[in-house]
């Protein structure tokens, strides 16, 4: 099975094709005359996009003390915290909603996202401009161009969610376009839609894993569904969600309600039919780095000999865990969360500090007990999300129909420990009002993806904040986001919706204007 390979040159991205899993083979810089003249170069430059830019900001645990950049936005809700936020102050200022007073201190985060996403966009732009003139089979040319368009869209989607208006660059960078102005988010979204629609029209109707771990029609349709959701365009979201729910993908089933539950299978097993798009990891070439250590608090260093540091970089507070009813499988020990763990090799036991549940979803047995190398792939999108998107988009446009209830019921039934069938749950859901059903979809997203960094995106797209009851398990109400108090007691402002523009980029490009509320230097 061919996997994704990346190679980086000095100054220019000159990448060559290779069949080994994720092999990195840096090349020396070359001249413009030689650049992008062969199919191998084109393929390898597109391969670079799989593991750089936005995908890496979401999936790679590069630090023991702070999670992927996307994890920081979850702190804004106050429902999550980083136990090392005294050092990783961007997490603290996000949780306390005081980023506006600390623009310079959090600029590293803005720099990282801005620079890496635009680097990837420039590679994609060069691929899109150059591939049509390279001699190769037309089907190969079309597929590589479609993949490049997918990644250009994926990176712009990440940027526009992070910063709002951003420069829209559609040609390779030259001296003539070094200082672009910001483009309205609505225009950026239009280009994202166009790129993804173009990709869907070309890419094969295959699952990601069976397509050699390359972008397929279903991956692009899932992302486009998400794009439409963020714009409140539920009619189009419904169209593309249906493409995914009608695909060969299937939900992972519970073998039992303990170690072989669907959630433990998702945690421990790669290439499941539920997975729409993921980032691959491998023990010998590209590991997931610090992911396994995020499962415990710092005291776990005494339990294992494989890692020197453990921190809850994305730890839920107890109030967040109250989003689950007591009968929900996902809140049971060793499903998504855990509170104690005994190392089977040495008998030593870790116990969670009070109010600090561990994140079992990040547990990687081989890495923690043996190898010290995380290998579990990171799932960007799962079929459960497509089901919830489809259910909500139907309800938003057509009301509570049988289909809407059916897809929501399938996700809920998998988590039910009382033996309720999909049919029984569906009947209950069809009795809900339209607004109650939609809010049930929102709550189910919180319950299904607690540790996959979806919560803030949902707050922004709905402009609602989920108030999780501190006393009644499973009770959630929704209030207007702006003016609401987060779980840390801070009040949301309009300026909290985006990060500041990179200060170094503002200094480099005089045509950029800072986001409201943040310093310009």
Total domains in the chain come to 2
Asked if residue 469 is part of any domain, the answer here is no
Asked if residue 415 is part of any domain, the answer here is no
> pLDDT for 438-466, tens place per residue?
999 999 999 999 999 999 999 999 999 99
| Domain interval for residue 304 | 281-376
Question: Percent of the chain beyond pLDDT 70?
Answer: 93
Structure tokens at 234: 């539920």
Question: Percent of the chain beyond pLDDT 90?
Answer: 91
Place of tokens 């499962």: 295
- pLDDT at residue 489 is higher than 70: yes
**Which residues, other chains included, contact 89 with Cβ-Cβ below 8 Å and sequence gap of 6+?**
102, 105, 106
Residues 214 and 340 in one domain: no
Asked if residue 381 is part of any domain, the answer here is no
Task: Annotate 290-321 with b (16+ C-beta within 10 A) or e (fewer).
Answer: bbbbbbbbeebbebbeebeebbbbbbbbebbb
What pLDDT does residue 36 have?
A: 79
Q: What is the mean pLDDT of residues 372-378?
A: 97
- pLDDT at residue 195 is higher than 70: yes
The CATH code of the domain that includes 150 is 1.25.40.390
- Cα 408 versus chain centre, distance: 21
Residues 222 and 139 in one domain: yes
Residues 234 and 119 in one domain: yes
What pLDDT does residue 175 have?
A: 76
Q: What is the mean pLDDT of residues 479-495?
A: 98
Residues 297 and 242 in one domain: no
- pLDDT at residue 7 is higher than 70: no
DSSP-assigned letter for residue 10: S
What band does 35 get if pLDDT is binned at 50, 70 and 90?
low
Q: What is the mean pLDDT of residues 65-71?
A: 98
In the listed set 248, 271, 305, which residue is the last one of a domain according to the structure?
248
- pLDDT at residue 19 is higher than 50: no
Label residue 32 exposed, middle or buried (CB < 10 Å: 0-12, 13-18, 19+): exposed
Report in angstroms the alpha-carbon separations of 434 from 287, 393, 398, 400, 445.
Answer: 45, 11, 9, 6, 17
Specify the 3-state DSSP secondary structure of 194. Answer: helix
Q: Provide long-range contacts, Cβ within 8 A and 24+ apart, for 94-97.
A: 95/486, 95/488, 95/490, 96/488, 96/490, 97/486, 97/488, 97/490, 97/491, 97/492, 97/493, 97/496
Judge whether 204 and 436 are in contact, CB under 8 Å.
no
Which residues on adjacent β-strands are paired with residue 80? 316
Residues 215 and 150 in one domain: yes
What is the C-alpha to C-alpha distance for residues 234 and 438, in angstroms, rounded to an integer? 12
What is the pTM for the complete model shown? 0.94
What pLDDT does residue 174 have?
A: 81
What pLDDT does residue 26 have?
A: 29
What is the C-alpha to C-alpha distance for residues 521 and 508, in angstroms, rounded to an integer? 11
Which residues on adjacent β-strands are paired with residue 315? 81
Residues 194 and 55 in one domain: yes
Residues 305 and 360 in one domain: yes
Label residue 449 exposed, middle or buried (CB < 10 Å: 0-12, 13-18, 19+): buried
What band does 178 get if pLDDT is binned at 50, 70 and 90?
confident
Q: What is the mean pLDDT of residues 211-235?
A: 98
Residues 58 and 194 in one domain: yes
- pLDDT at residue 514 is higher than 60: yes
Which residues on adjacent β-strands are paired with residue 351? 340
Q: What is the mean pLDDT of residues 216-234?
A: 98
> pLDDT for 134-154, tens place per residue?
999 999 999 999 999 999 999
What band does 521 get if pLDDT is binned at 50, 70 and 90?
confident
- pLDDT at residue 314 is higher than 50: yes
């Amino acid at each position: 099975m061919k996997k994704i390979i990346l190679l980086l040159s000095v100054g220019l991205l000159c990448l060559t094709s290779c069949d080994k899993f994720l092999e990195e083979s840096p090349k020396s810089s070359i001249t413009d005359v030689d650049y992008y003249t062969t199919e191998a170069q084109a393929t390898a430059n597109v391969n670079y996009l799989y593991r750089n830019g936005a995908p890496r900001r979401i999936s790679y645990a590069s630090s023991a003390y702070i999670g992927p950049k996307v994890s920081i936005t979850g702190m804004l809700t106050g429902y999550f915290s980083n136990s090392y936020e005294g050092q990783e102050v961007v997490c603290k200022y996000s949780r306390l909603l005081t980023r506006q007073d600390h623009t310079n201190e959090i600029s590293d985060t803005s720099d990282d996202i801005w620079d890496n996403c635009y680097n990837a966009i420039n590679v994609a732009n060069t691929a899109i401009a150059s591939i049509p003139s390279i001699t190769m089979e037309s089907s190969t040319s079309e597929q590589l161009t479609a993949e490049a368009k997918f990644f250009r869209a994926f990176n712009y989607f990440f940027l526009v969610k992070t910063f709002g208006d951003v420069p829209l660059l559609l040609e390779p960078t030259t001296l003539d376009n070094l200082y672009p102005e910001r483009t309205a988010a609505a225009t950026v979204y239009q280009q994202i839609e166009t790129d993804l629609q173009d990709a869907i029209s070309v890419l094969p109707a295959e699952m990601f894993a069976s397509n050699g771990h390359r972008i397929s029609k279903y991956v692009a349709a899932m992302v486009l569904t998400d794009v439409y959701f963020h714009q409140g365009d539920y009619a189009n979201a419904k169209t593309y969600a249906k493409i995914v729910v009608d695909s060969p993908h299937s939900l992972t089933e519970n073998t039992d309600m303990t170690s072989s539950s669907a959630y433990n299978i998702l945690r421990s097993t790669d290439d499941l039919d539920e997975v729409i798009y993921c980032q691959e990891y491998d023990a010998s070439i590209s590991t997931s780095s610090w992911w396994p250590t995020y499962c415990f608090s710092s005291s776990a260093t005494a339990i294992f000999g494989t890692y020197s540091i453990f921190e809850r970089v994305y730890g839920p507070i107890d109030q967040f865990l109250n989003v689950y009813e007591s009968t929900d499988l996902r809140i049971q020990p060793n499903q998504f969360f855990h509170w104690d763990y005994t190392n089977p090799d040495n008998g030593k036991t870790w116990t969670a500090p009070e109010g600090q549940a561990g994140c079992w979803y990040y547990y990687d047995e081989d890495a923690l007990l043996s190898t010290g190398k995380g290998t579990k792939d990171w799932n960007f999108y799962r079929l459960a999300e497509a089901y919830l998107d489809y259910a909500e988009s139907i309800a938003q446009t057509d009301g509570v129909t049988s289909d809407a209830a059916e897809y929501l019921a399938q996700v809920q039934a998998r988590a039910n420990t009382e033996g309720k069938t999909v049919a029984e749950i569906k009947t209950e859901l069809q009795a809900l009002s339209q607004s109650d059903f939609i809010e049930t979809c929102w709550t189910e997203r919180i319950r299904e993806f607690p540790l996959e960094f979806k919560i803030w995106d949902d707050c922004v797209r709905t402009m609602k904040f989920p108030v999780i009851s501190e006393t009644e398990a499973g009770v959630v109400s929704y209030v207007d986001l702006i003016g609401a108090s987060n779980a840390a007691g801070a009040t949301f402002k309009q300026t909290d919706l985006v990060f500041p523009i990179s200060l170094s980029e503002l200094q480099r490009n005089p045509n950029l204007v800072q986001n409201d509320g943040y310093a310009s230097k």
